[in-house]
Amino acid sequence: MVFKVVVSDKETSYQIESDDSVNRQFLGLAIGDTFDGTLVGLGGYTLKITGGSDKNGFPMKKDIDGPRRIKSLLTGGLGYKPKADGVKRRKTLRGNTVSDDIVQINTIVDAAGSKTLKEILNPEPEVEEDVEGET
């Protein structure tokens, strides 16, 4: 299974797909944990996990331990925005630990490297020079 790692740096976000060989190193990490950016091709960066979602679209929540999925009664916050005060609703949420069911991991930059994210992830294409005299 391929994880989509979303890296946010201030106002810009970049989506990186991780390789299958790297995915095993993400398993067991929880929200709030940091990992080395070289796992996703960002040498010199340290990334912090802020959330994610599973294969069915249910969001991860920091308060729920483990990789389990539960139905929780919410009055607001992550996963539910009530339209009026005092409204509660039971919503399905995922635990705070990365497992095989997670498909997206949201991260922020904890420590930046020497190059910017834009330089690493959006390399400018080489411009071909027009050779005069060709017909």
pLDDT at 119 over 90: no
Q: Are strands 102-111 and 4-9 parallel, antiparallel or unpaired?
A: parallel
Q: Answer whether residue 81 is part of any domain.
A: no
Q: Is 5 helix (H, G, I), strand (E, B) or coil?
A: strand
Distances in Å between the Cα of 14 and the Cα atoms of 37, 58, 75, 76, 107 are 13, 21, 31, 28, 10
| Structural domain span for residue 14 | 4-65+96-113
Q: Answer whether residue 104 is part of any domain.
A: yes
CA 25 to chain CA mean position, Å: 15
pLDDT at 106 over 90: yes
* 68 — pLDDT class (breaks 50, 70, 90): very high
* 78 — pLDDT class (breaks 50, 70, 90): confident
Judged by phi (left if over 0) then psi (alpha if -120 to 50, else beta), residue 59 lies in beta
Q: Answer whether residue 132 is part of any domain.
A: no
Q: Answer whether residue 30 is part of any domain.
A: yes
pLDDT at 22 over 90: no
How confident is the prediction for the chain on average, in pLDDT?
86
101 neighbors 94 (Cβ within 8 angstroms):
yes
Give me the residues paired with residue 14 across strands. 7
Copy the structure tokens of residue 102. Answer: 């997670």
Q: Answer whether residue 129 is part of any domain.
A: no
Q: Is 14 helix (H, G, I), strand (E, B) or coil?
A: strand
Q: Answer whether residue 85 is part of any domain.
A: no
DSSP per residue, 18-60: PPHHHHHHHTT-BTT-EEEGGGGT-TT-EEEEEEEEETT-PBB
pLDDT at residue 117 in the model: 82
* Average confidence (pLDDT) over 93-119: 89
**For the chain, what is the domain count?**
1
